[in-house]
Chains A and B, each alone.
Chain A
């Protein structure tokens, strides 16, 4: 059974701080990794995808992947109240389906 684990939170950070969200996965051959943001009552929307070890930056967001440790993280710099949402980690293995984690609820306090 392929598993993706995340801390459910809530993770609370003050406005302007760095929020760090973590995800571990069980399938060693997983190849594609995605972070989605989901506001309450809405559907998931893509923040970032990452395929190779290392860091990938997009604006205030940085995804980090370490395949040896089976670990992927998302850093949000200069957190804003509008970043308050649930962040879903999704993992994909070639030819198979996405497996989603349970999500981490982030609360950015003004």
Chain B
């Protein structure tokens, strides 16, 4: 399978715990994006990488969120001290350039109890 993969697919955690999600993009894609999506809304941009460099973070992203893309390959998104409002689908996408189609992974559904 040469598409975007994400792990885990589902995560249930208690409020205050830390969680980490992983995304493996399409191998030749330079750009990697993280989005959050809640019910009835479109994907909301969180951050993106050009190779290993994190070029932009949404102003909506609190300090509890951090993302890395070591060596420009896979990426991780960590949420510290989770809150119930963090419950959402976290989507990863990758593309060759900023203008071209973004291909999405299956997402990680997070539920914070």
CB of A96 within 8 A of CB of B98, answer: yes
Question: Dominant SS at the B interface?
Answer: loop
CB of A32 within 8 A of CB of B91, answer: no
Q: Chain A, interface size: which category?
A: 20 to 34
4 A-B pairs closest in CB distance: A100-B42, A43-B104, A43-B107, A100-B43
Given contacts A43-B106, A97-B33, contact A102 B101 (CB under 8 A): no
Name the interface residues of B33-88: CB closer than 8 Å to any CB of A: 33, 35, 40-45, 48, 56
| Chain B residue nearest in CB terms to A99 | B45
A1 to chain B, nearest CB (A): 10
The distance in angstroms between the C-alpha atoms of A4 and B45, with both chains bound, is: 13
| Chain B residue nearest in CB terms to A40 | B39
CB of A31 within 8 A of CB of B107, answer: no
CB of A8 within 8 A of CB of B40, answer: yes
CB of B104 within 8 A of CB of A44, answer: yes
Residue-by-residue, is A9-50 near B (CB-CB < 8 Å gives 1, otherwise 0)? 000000000000000000000011010100000111110010
A92 within 8 A of B: yes
Question: In the complex, what residues of A have CB within 8 A of residue B106's CB?
Answer: 42-43
Q: Of A32, A45, A92, A101, which one neighbours B104 at CB under 8 angstroms?
A: A45
CB of A31 within 8 A of CB of B99, answer: yes
